């Protein structure tokens, strides 16, 4: 049985930003790809993108195509060494788990050399950065064939299995050498797995039903061990433990009289070789405690061994993925939690800055003597969040002695804002625009900048505020300043070396990540950092310690930004580097000063999200600064938000936020009845036996409205939600019942 999968049209010159490179659902349009006319840079097809800076996609029409409409993939002439052209799409693998996928594409190649080839390719990605099935036809490349019928067009097929734990599927076509590659009739299909031997399937179905019963309420560890060898183990990402120890710990929560659990296992595949069997499974578990319901999905690859008597027992359980499907709260539990919230949370009178600060006393007490306060946000486009953060900054400056403010934006571009608030030089609107991101080009952020300027201008003795940042997404301004600095304070030879090194980044675009050209550019930029380090003493003598310190950091920003875009770079690289940059600010630029950080909830989170494969900036900073750092999260419920849309239109717009689903985290916070409140989590960190309904809720992974910069328009009620445990991510939380979109300048 074949399951047809449909794709979005591929357009000319599709060059999408980094966010588009994330897996996106397939569309529900015609079964084969068709090619539509589009202006350069057009974005009518968010699933498809070129991920090489040297890929040129051109729409073709007429007899040269196989079906009347196709595209060509080519490169500039002459192509750079080791460069290649590539067009690809990424899709979520969950719909294809355990199936066989078939990718078909019609290709013809124009070229004159043996190196002019095309490589259709298909890759399945597993959790933890691991790769499942992969085939790029390197052993059977598509070559020019002008004598073949049909003008050299031929259909090529790649087929392979999708592991039950797979996260994403990528497929596309690569052009190498000086080849011009023609692409048409792309299709993608999933096939059901081969039929299992009925007798074996029935046998293992019975065995897993016994295991499900043993892991459910009323089950026993002895029942689990009866189906395992004495030496059986469980292994996962970075661990291997005896099976008995693992399941003893897993069954421990069932000792509580108010906790019940059920498990249901689905068999994906059974492979029997002699007296050994490998079984791929997916286990859906439901754990119901006093105040919440937790759903998890686990995939495993189990190795079974048959004894001389014909009895099958598990030898090894390999956990390939664990996914939390979130916690939900029953209506009864929600009322108990809401009642506790109503009495324990501190109502806030307003989010507007400039208001009296008496209602912020609880927040100040929670912050205590912290040196760093990290302010998160549930979206990058919410007026009241920005205003509330402005109000908190005023309080921290006036009542707690904070003097440095650092935002999630590129450094050193924010130095223009810093110069304005300290000297009045420049245009603050232009300075915010020079930070690139539309997210900060708002009335709310401008009002905060003007307040910082007014504070610094106020008569009488008082500290001077600083405005800075810690991100590293672009390199050009930093590179220009490094080149200027070394010309003024270094030798002609060093200035020439820097100029040559930075030439490697010429022509690269921030909108085309994962390009191999970034590898060489990053290596050259890192040599500049090494050069500045070696010349440090001489540069300090010429330029002074502070100017040299900043120039050296600018070399790091250049290298970080380029390295962040190299193919295969770990997804947590940006957070790691942002944490390094914050530590540099705290250690070298503002030693002894108190710092306010402004970033998204996901970046400031003080513990890692188990669904991610990387450490957040906040988790890295908590490891360095410990309790000297206080992390405040934000949560919202309904209203409007300013964000870039998904789907066919990616325009910046205002979107309506529907009420959160019943039982979700946002719905629970809303049930407290306070339109705006602060909650410190410290009182709820109790021993497990004394956890209150609210404390248990805070430690559970619930769905909250988390938007970032993009709003999913296709299914807004169920999308734009993120699962996390607020008590583990933050030290405290501010909740806003209804919000408005931020107001752009």
Do β-strands 35-36 and 10-11 pair in parallel, antiparallel, or remain unpaired?
Answer: parallel
Alpha-carbon dihedral sign for residues 590, 591, 593, 598 = positive
Contacts of 277 (CB under 8 A, 6+ apart): 200, 204, 270, 271, 303, 304, 305, 306, 312
Do β-strands 594-598 and 652-657 pair in parallel, antiparallel, or remain unpaired?
Answer: unpaired
The helix or strand, by DSSP H or E, that contains position 249, with its residue range, turns out to be helix 243-251
Q: How far apart are CA 715 and CA 438, in angstroms?
A: 24
List for the chain the helix, strand, coil content (%; round to 5): 35, 30, 35
Q: Measured in Å, how far apart are the chain's first and last C-alpha atoms?
A: 55
Length of the chain: 745
Q: How far apart are CA 412 and CA 740, in angstroms?
A: 31
CA atoms within 13 A of residue 205's CA, in its CB half-sphere:
9
Do β-strands 629-645 and 168-176 pair in parallel, antiparallel, or remain unpaired?
Answer: unpaired
Nearest CA to 3 out of 123, 95, 106 is that of 95
DSSP 177: T
8 Å CB contact between 8 and 46: yes
3-state secondary structure 487-538: HHHCCHHHHHHHHHHHHCCCCCCCCCCCCCHHHHHHHHHHHHHHHHHHCHHH
The mean of the pLDDT values for the chain is 82
The DSSP annotation for 534-552 comes to HTHHHHHHHH-HHHHHHHH
Q: Is 595 helix (H, G, I), strand (E, B) or coil?
A: strand
- Is the bond preceding residue 455 a cis peptide, omega within 30 degrees? no
Q: Is 438 helix (H, G, I), strand (E, B) or coil?
A: helix
Q: Which residue shows structure tokens 């980044």?
A: 505
Phi, psi of 244 (to 5 degrees): -60, -45
Domains of the chain as residue ranges with CATH = 2-191 (2.60.120.260), 198-327 (3.10.450.50), 358-473+573-717+724-739 (3.40.1660.10), 476-557 (no CATH)
| Numbers of helices and strands, H then E, in the chain | 20, 31
Q: CA-CA distances (angstroms) from residue 222 to 186, 203, 225, 226, 233? A: 53, 21, 5, 6, 15
Phi, psi of 648 (to 5 degrees): -70, -25
Q: Which residue shows structure tokens 């404390």?
A: 695
Phi, psi of 65 (to 5 degrees): -85, 165
What pLDDT score does 185 carry?
82
What pLDDT score does 726 carry?
93
Q: How far apart are CA 119 and CA 279, in angstroms?
A: 33
Q: Which residue shows structure tokens 């996390």?
A: 724
In whole angstroms, what separates CA 324 from the centre of its chain?
A: 16
Q: How many CB atoms lie within 10 A of CB 212?
A: 17
CA atoms within 13 A of residue 383's CA, in its CB half-sphere:
15
What pLDDT score does 102 carry?
86
The helix or strand, by DSSP H or E, that contains position 242, with its residue range, turns out to be strand 239-242
Q: Which residues of the chain have pLDDT under 70?
A: 1-57, 59, 68, 75-84, 127-131, 192-196, 217-219, 237-238, 252-259, 289-292, 321-326, 512-514, 568, 609-613, 647-650, 686-691, 714-718
Q: What angle do CA 170, 196, 304 make, to 5 degrees?
A: 90
Q: What angle do CA 133, 54, 509 make, to 5 degrees?
A: 100
What pLDDT score does 622 carry?
95
Contacts of 662 (CB under 8 A, 6+ apart): 331
């Amino acid at each position: 049985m074949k399951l047809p999968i449909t794709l979005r049209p591929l357009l000319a010159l599709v060059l999408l930003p980094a966010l588009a490179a994330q897996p996106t659902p397939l569309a529900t349009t015609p079964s084969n790809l068709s090619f539509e006319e589009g202006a350069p840079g057009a974005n009518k097809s968010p699933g498809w993108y070129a991920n090489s800076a040297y890929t040129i996609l051109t729409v073709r029409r007429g007899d040269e195509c196989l079906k009347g409409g196709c595209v060509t993939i080519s490169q500039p002439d002459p192509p750079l060494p080791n460069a290649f052209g590539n067009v690809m799409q990424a899709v979520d693998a969950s719909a294809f788990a355990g199936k066989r996928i078939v990718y078909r594409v019609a290709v013809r190649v124009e070229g004159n050399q043996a190196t002019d080839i095309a490589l259709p390719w298909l890759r399945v990605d597993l959790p933890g950065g691991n790769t499942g099935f992969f085939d790029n036809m390197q052993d059977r490349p598509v070559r020019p064939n002008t004598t073949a019928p049909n003008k050299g067009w031929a259909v090529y097929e790649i087929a392979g299995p999708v592991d039950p734990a797979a996260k994403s599927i990528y497929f596309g076509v690569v052009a190498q050498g000086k080849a011009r590659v023609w692409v048409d009739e792309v299709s993608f299909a999933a096939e059901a797995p081969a039929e299992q031997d009925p007798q074996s399937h029935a046998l293992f179905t019975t065995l897993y039903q016994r295991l499900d019963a043993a892991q459910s309420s009323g089950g026993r560890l002895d029942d689990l061990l009866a189906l395992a060898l004495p030496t059986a183990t469980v292994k996962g990402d970075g661990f291997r433990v005896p099976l008995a120890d693992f399941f003893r710990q897993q069954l421990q929560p069932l000792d509580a009289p108010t906790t019940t659990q059920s498990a249901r296992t689905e068999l994906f595949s059974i492979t029997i070789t002699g007296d050994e069997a490998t079984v791929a499974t997916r286990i859906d578990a439901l754990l119901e405690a006093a105040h919440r319901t937790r759903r998890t999905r686990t995939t495993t690859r189990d190795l079974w061994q048959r004894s001389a008597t014909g009895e099958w027992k598990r030898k090894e359980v390999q956990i390939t993925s664990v996914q939390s499907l979130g916690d939900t709260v029953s209506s009864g539990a929600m009322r108990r939690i809401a009642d506790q919230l109503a009495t324990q949370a501190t109502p806030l009178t307003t989010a507007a800055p400039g208001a009296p600060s008496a209602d912020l006393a609880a927040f100040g007490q929670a912050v205590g003597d912290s040196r760093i306060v990290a302010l998160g946000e549930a979206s990058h486009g919410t007026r009241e969040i920005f205003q509330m953060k402005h109000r908190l900054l005023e309080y921290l400056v006036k009542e707690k002695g904070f003097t440095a403010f650092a935002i999630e934006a590129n450094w050193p571009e924010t130095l223009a804002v810093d110069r304005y608030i300290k000297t009045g030089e420049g245009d603050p609107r232009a300075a915010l625009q020079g930070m690139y991101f539309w997210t900060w080009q708002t009335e709310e952020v401008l009002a905060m900048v003007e307040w910082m300027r007014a504070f610094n201008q106020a008569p009488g003795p008082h500290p001077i505020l600083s405005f800075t940042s810690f991100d590293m997404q672009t390199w050009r301004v930093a590179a220009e300043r490094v080149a200027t600095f070394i010309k003024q304070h270094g030798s002609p030879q060093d200035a020439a070396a820097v100029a040559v090194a930075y030439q490697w980044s010429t022509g690269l675009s921030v909108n085309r990540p994962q390009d191999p050209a970034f590898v060489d550019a990053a290596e050259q930029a890192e040599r500049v950092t090494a050069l500045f380090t070696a010349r440090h003493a001489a540069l300090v003598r010429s330029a002074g310690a502070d100017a040299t310190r900043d120039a050296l950091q600018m070399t790091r920003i250049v290298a970080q930004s380029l390295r962040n875009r190299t193919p295969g770079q770990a997804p947590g690289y940006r957070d790691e580097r942002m944490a390094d940059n914050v530590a540099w600010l705290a250690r070298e630029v503002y030693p002894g000063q108190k710092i306010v950080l402004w970033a998204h909830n996901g970046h400031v989170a003080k513990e890692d999200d188990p669904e991610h494969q990387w450490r957040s900036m906040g988790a890295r900073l908590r490891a360095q600064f410990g309790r000297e750092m206080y992390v405040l999260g934000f949560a919202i419920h309904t209203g409007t938000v300013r964000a870039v849309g998904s789907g066919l239109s990616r325009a910046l717009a205002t979107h309506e936020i529907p009420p959160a689903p019943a039982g979700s985290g946002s719905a629970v916070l809303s049930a407290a009845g306070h339109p705006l409140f602060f909650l410190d989590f410290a009182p709820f960190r109790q021993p497990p036996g004394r956890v209150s309904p609210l404390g248990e809720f805070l430690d559970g992974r619930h769905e909250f409205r988390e938007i970032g910069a993009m709003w999913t328009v296709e299914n807004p009620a169920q999308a734009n939600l993120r699962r996390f445990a607020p008590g583990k991510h933050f030290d405290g939380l501010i909740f806003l019942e209804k919000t408005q979109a931020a107001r752009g300048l």
